Amino acid sequence: MDYKSLIDDIVWWIPFKKLRHAFRVIMQDTLDSINNKQEKINESEKNNLEKIKYLEKIILLESKKYIFDYEMIDLLFSDDFDFIYYEIVKLWIQLEDTKNLLDLLYFISLREHVWDKMNPEFWLVYISLLYESNNLDFAEFIFNKYVEKYKLSYIHRSLVVSKFSKELNLMNEEIEHSNIILEYLNKSINDNVFENIIKQNKTIAVVGNGPQELGKGKGEEIDGHDIVIRFNNFNNVGIEKDYGTKVDIWFPNLSNCDYKKYNNIMYGLVLSPDRAIFTDDVLINMYSMIDSNKFFCFSNALSFGLYKLAGRNIRFTTGGIVLYYLANLKEKYNLNFSHKDIYGFSFINNDFSSNHYHYYKDMFTPFYAEHALYTYHKINKEILFLRKLFNLL
């Protein structure tokens, strides 16, 4: 009996032609054997099953020829599923060409018990990339498996998967809100909101939250700039003489910022809407801010250019990303902006070791030191990159 159509449905997504053919032969033999109504699995069938298991291993080994990045190869064999998810998200944010990443995700998806062990947001990343690459049939296949296991839970955290869910007529209020957010953010990208503000030949001050300016009395100098940019949960109460009070553009931590605190300013997000998984509190704040029409984000092209230049071993801070963007706009529009307009950043004074905490921190705790230097952002590497970017080496 010819099971060609059935086998085609099973093996079409195997990425390597020779392996596809091998699976076809083995599956045809096995199905023929079953069709003959043999009562017991004979030795030939046992051998076929062993061959299938062996070929699964070969797929992983063959992947080394297609996935040239050693970090990606390590992820294939790691048993730490939280680590796999974290690294996948990092690659997702950083890589413009995602062919190898899609191959990697496919191989990981074949692993035993992966649907039970993996963070459900892993599948949102996978679906988002499949959708982005226009592999809609397989995206729908994975999406349906996701819905079967998790219903509509967490889908709203990916704006792209929310859009796909809407196209598939699977909606709830959270998914609808995410679609509205995506439409708004894409418009802000297309309108070049940040770039149009910056290119108006105005003086710009970028004020980080490092303690480098304490006691220097630069507050008036900072506030003398036409545009003052600040970050995260800055708090300059009591140190206005050193850090000023003016704020025109704020890149806040959207999970806990009081976006109603300031009037007549713009709020920015450095993450791209199609390459991010957002937490619920961030989505709630973004949705609430849409009516103000004073909220914008950056395109993923910015991240692609940054990590292509700097390498992938750096997880940039919000301040680092904004400074990279400004350095690019300086060349594009001949902006009046240099390292002298940057305040509260350790790279300006070549400060590699001691002052990586914020000026509003009470002390430099060992936990914060470990977090800032080695785990999440790897500040020392960012310092070296920014010093080179602003010709301070």
- 166 and 235: one domain? no
- On whether both 219 and 362 belong to a single domain, the answer is yes
Calculate mean pLDDT across residues 321-348.
Answer: 92
**Of residues 133, 187, 126, 186, the one with CA closest to residue 161:** 126
Q: Are residues 9 and 52 in the same domain?
A: yes
Sheet holding 266-269, edge to edge: 295-297, 266-269, 249-251, 227-231, 204-207, 342-343
In angstroms, the CA 219 to CA 236 distance is: 10
Q: How many domains does the chain have?
A: 3
Choose one of 173, 190, 207: the last residue of a domain.
Answer: 190
Last residue of a domain, one of 29, 50, 65: 65
Q: How confident is the model at residue 369 (pLDDT cuts 50, 70, 90)?
A: very low
Please give the average per-residue pLDDT across 286-309, as a whole number.
Answer: 91
pLDDT bin (cut points 50, 70, 90) of residue 47 is: low
Residues 175 and 199 in one domain: no
CA 277 to chain centre: 7
* Higher local confidence (pLDDT), 55 or 366: 55
Pairing of strands 227-231, 295-297: unpaired
| Residues 17 and 33 grouped into a single domain | yes
Q: By the 8 A CB rule, do 196 and 332 touch?
A: no
Residue 295, strand partner residues:
267
Tell me the DSSP string of 271-319. S-TTS----HHHHHHHHHHGGGT-EEE--HHHHHHHHHHH-SS----HH
What average pLDDT does the segment 182-200 reach? 94
Mean of the per-residue pLDDT values for the chain? 82
Which residue is listed with tokens 């070791």?
353
Distance CA 217, CA 359 (A): 14
Q: Which residues contact 98 (CB under 8 A, 6 or more apart)?
A: 92, 129, 132, 133
Residue at a domain's end among 65, 82, 100 = 65
pLDDT digits (tens, 9 = 90+) for 116-128: 999 999 999 999 9
Shared domain for 93 and 174, answered yes or no, is yes
Per DSSP, the three-state class of 363 is: coil
Alpha helices for 95-172 (secondary structure H)? 99-109, 114-117, 120-132, 136-150, 159-167
Identify whether residues 153 and 260 lie together within a single domain. no
224 shares its domain with 369: yes
Same domain, 91 and 105: yes
In this structure, are 265 and 380 located in the same domain?
A: yes
pLDDT at position 3: 54
238 and 353, same domain (yes or no):
yes
Range of the domain at 46: 1-65
Do residues 137 and 219 share a domain?
Answer: no
